[in-house]
Structure 1
Amino acid sequence: MTIRAQVFILAAIVTALLPSAPSRADSQFQTPWSNQNRAIVLDGYEHNSFNLPEIIKDPRVAAFIHKGSDGMPANYHCNRIADVKDQEICRRIWRNYAVSRELYQTRRALAKALGLKWGSYHLARPGNPIEQANHFIDYAEPTSDELMALDIEDNDPTRFMSLQDGQIFAEQIKLRTGRYPVLYTNGTTAKYIADHRLEFPILSRLPLWYARYETDIAPHFPKGNWQDYALWQFASQSNCTKMRCPYRPNGTNRDIDVNIADMTVTQLKQAWPFDNLIPAVVPDDMPRPGERPSLPDDILMASMEPPLVDYRQLLHAPRMLALAAERWLADAQDVLDHVDETPEAIDTLLTASIARSANKPQSGEKLTVEAIRTSLQLPIFTGGDHPDSHLITGLISFCFDNTKATIGHWPAYAMQH
């Protein structure tokens, strides 16, 4: 075997052993900054130092996002505070606020003049979300081509804005500007929002600015409504040292955050400022229109369709009625059997009615239910009878034997509707 053949075989073996390159479907989640065609976005705040003319020498850097406002607006009326120390603190906060806003405006003007896309973010704190949204707009004064971002550092309402208030903040930004902000948050908070996206219909559809300092986020990327990130913050002071950093642009120190976009510089500038909601993705376990969840047999559920009625008990109705009739007849016969013993218990109205409407039984003949039934079926009418007597007689005939009862026995007024 020649040396050339040996080298060829060795190269083939090494190639087979090397891991294959990630597919396009996963490449955006696995060290995408190694792809020279992917756009870089930087973000910082007032205490960072950087050199914008040096930064733009990196052709991959397409935009800069700067911190804007922080929590609630500063107190404009320090003189109204009685305590001297609190008054001094108020004045310092106001001076810092004024200086930081002046620095923000200067950096924005320079960055846009150098051809960078610009954006700003609001560090969300506990407090009135509408007032914070108005504060952010008043501070940053964003133009229509500038990205706006809501920064919820963690799902901890004691330290940062709650997710429910984040919804209100985003809606107020939309109301004031006609555009939505991007959501900046960490992995655990993003996953919580994705898993509960029906509870956060606005927050879960804001373009995601994802903060995760790992080389591969595919296993835990929160794919709810988010199928991809708008920006991925992959480098910061937490994973950058003086000697090593995933990516360090010219003109920056290691305290500058670095973000990657799953697109080229040209594509990113066209998609900027990411101010629309992303499409909603229906959860897999959510019922579709027309579908009904399976129900146990012993549960009846109201709906717009004909009501579900359990008719099984009606199968026992004839027997129940027969038993009730037997008990009633037995009770009636028992009363009649003791008529002679307790004549005072007989209602005189009842006996009078029987005497008027039935043939008088022979002396010594025992009064029975059957005898009363027979006599009542042969009513006697007189000209002086009240019309109600006809109605009562008809009802009696109908109750005892409806095959012989006729509507003609009933008075006319009883047939009126």
Structure 2
Amino acid sequence: MSVVPGVGRGSGQSRHADDQRCARNLDLTLFAPRNLRRLLCAVGVALSAWVAPGSASDFSQPWKRSDRALVVDAYEYNSIDWQKLVTDKRIVGFINKASDGLSPPYACKGNDTEVSLCKALWKRHAVARELFHTRKTVAKTLGLEWGAYHLARPGNPIDQANNFIDFAEPGPDDLLALDIEDNDPEKWMSLEDAEEFVRHVHRRIGRFPILYTNGATAQHIADNREKYSLLSRLPLWYARYKPEIGIHFPKGNWQGYALWQFSARANCNEKSCPYRVPGTPTDIDVNVASMDAKELREAWPFGGLLDVPVEMIASVPVPIARAEGLAGEVTLAYAPVEKASALVALENAFQVRGQHYPERATYAAAAEKGSKFFARIASYLVGLKQTLIAWPFGQQEIAIGVDPITTATIPGRTELP
């Protein structure tokens, strides 16, 4: 598995794009010229390494640490010498490509060319599936943790989720991953469809996949985490082929990564490679975990959602007893405040209008306590229609069957009731 060239991959990103991402993470975009932003970003990298060396080390070549576990991921065309691979005791897991988009049609129709292509696709699908399950058996026999990923394509996300689960036949200890190569709905599954994919996987097996993607897409999800409420909380399998990622890491709900794909064909060849896994070709993908082998085995297969970090700006101090406050030995604690949804905001608006204009039955009905909000909205709409009927006609009787809302000419008014 590899990301699209030039997106999220260090070798293809421009210096300007890196500057912009760094400035955004440090909130410098509006206040500093480009040269100053570069200087402050460099200082930020140095400070992050100095202030918190323990956490910063997982963002700077962690594969060089002997206590960091490694995971290999492969697809059907990667050759594997299993006996050599397991000589590297840092290799804890193996993740193999499972399904690719939608499953090919079982019944082939059309002209000779179309039928021939259909049969070839089905044969490839069958061979890939057989190889997948053979590798699964071998890996588990050798004591490796097992995982599967789905290459997300455009197309029905529910059908793709079913294809993934039916292909992989995951056991309770098998990791599942959704591979979104880039935020380009023309080539890959859209993020909106990915939300449905993730939701359906959970419906079927009771747990969530982790999310594999590049830096740019991860940043977009992090910046729009309220819109992508599931994707932004999946454990992140981060693809970036640079020695350091701290200043570029997307943050949001992600305080760290589950796996970091640091080596692939993009930065590994016969002459130079960040890490060589015995028994694998140079184009194999290698990943590092921010934990040791024991911790990774305990965390595997992940499967849950990340907790949403509490932001201080959206928190309030927890009240303390007066006696404790006078004693002066108090540690402030903060409780998160639930963000108001659009529906809550609408309800509050009606309540305020009802308090300001109690004589208006329309607002009063919507603001009435003790009844469900949607029932109050219905009362408001009924009252509004009656008001509009009375508006142009005054006390005149309306003929039965006539809807003045759609048929009457309403005189110009400058204020709605």
TM-score by length of structure 2 reads 0.65
CA contact (8 A) 1:71 1:125 kept: yes
2:307 pairs with 1:279: yes
Query: Cα distance 1:33–1:289, how it changes in 2: closer, same or farther (>3 A)?
Result: closer
Question: 1:359-370 to 2 correspondence within 5 Å?
Answer: none
Query: Cα distance 1:155–1:289, how it changes in 2: closer, same or farther (>3 A)?
Result: same
CA contact (8 A) 1:181 1:206 kept: yes
Identity %: 49
CA contact (8 A) 2:222 2:253 kept: yes
Equivalent residue, structure 2, for 1:153? 181
Query: Cα distance 1:150–1:290, how it changes in 2: closer, same or farther (>3 A)?
Result: closer
Question: 1:8-407 to 2 correspondence within 5 Å?
Answer: 23-78=53-108, 81-281=109-309, 289=337, 302=349, 304=351, 307=354, 309=356
Q: Tell me, what secondary structure is at the counterpart of 2:238?
A: strand
Deviations 1:279-301 (A, max 9, x none): 01356776974999xxxxxxxx8
CA contact (8 A) 1:71 1:126 kept: yes
Aligned-partner Cα distance in 2 for 1:21–1:242: 37
1:308 Cα deviation from its structure 2 partner? 5.9
CA contact (8 A) 2:69 2:92 kept: yes
**Counterpart residue type for residue 181 of structure 1:** P
Equivalent residue, structure 1, for 2:6? none
Equivalent residue, structure 2, for 1:411? none
Query: Cα distance 1:306–1:94, how it changes in 2: closer, same or farther (>3 A)?
Result: closer
Query: Cα distance 1:119–1:285, how it changes in 2: closer, same or farther (>3 A)?
Result: same
Equivalent residue, structure 2, for 1:382? none
Aligned-partner Cα distance in 2 for 1:30–1:90: 46
1:127 Cα deviation from its structure 2 partner? 0.3
TM-score by length of structure 1 reads 0.65
Q: Which runs of 5+ in 1 are unaligned?
A: 1-18, 293-300, 311-417
Aligned-partner Cα distance in 2 for 1:24–1:124: 35
Query: Cα distance 1:21–1:194, how it changes in 2: closer, same or farther (>3 A)?
Result: closer
CA contact (8 A) 1:302 1:308 kept: no
Aligned-partner Cα distance in 2 for 1:254–1:234: 13
Higher relative contact order (CA 8 A, sep 6+): 2
**Counterpart residue type for residue 102 of structure 2:** M
Deviations 1:272-322 (A, max 9, x none): 001110101356776974999xxxxxxxx8354585649xxxxxxxxxxxx
Q: Tell me, what secondary structure is at the counterpart of 1:28?
A: helix
Aligned-partner Cα distance in 1 for 2:314–2:111: 57
Q: Greater CA radius of gyration, 1 or 2?
A: 1
CA contact (8 A) 2:269 2:283 kept: no
**Counterpart residue type for residue 349 of structure 2:** A
Q: Tell me, what secondary structure is at the counterpart of 1:302?
A: helix
CA contact (8 A) 2:139 2:145 kept: yes
CA contact (8 A) 2:180 2:212 kept: yes
Q: Tell me, what secondary structure is at the counterpart of 2:265?
A: coil
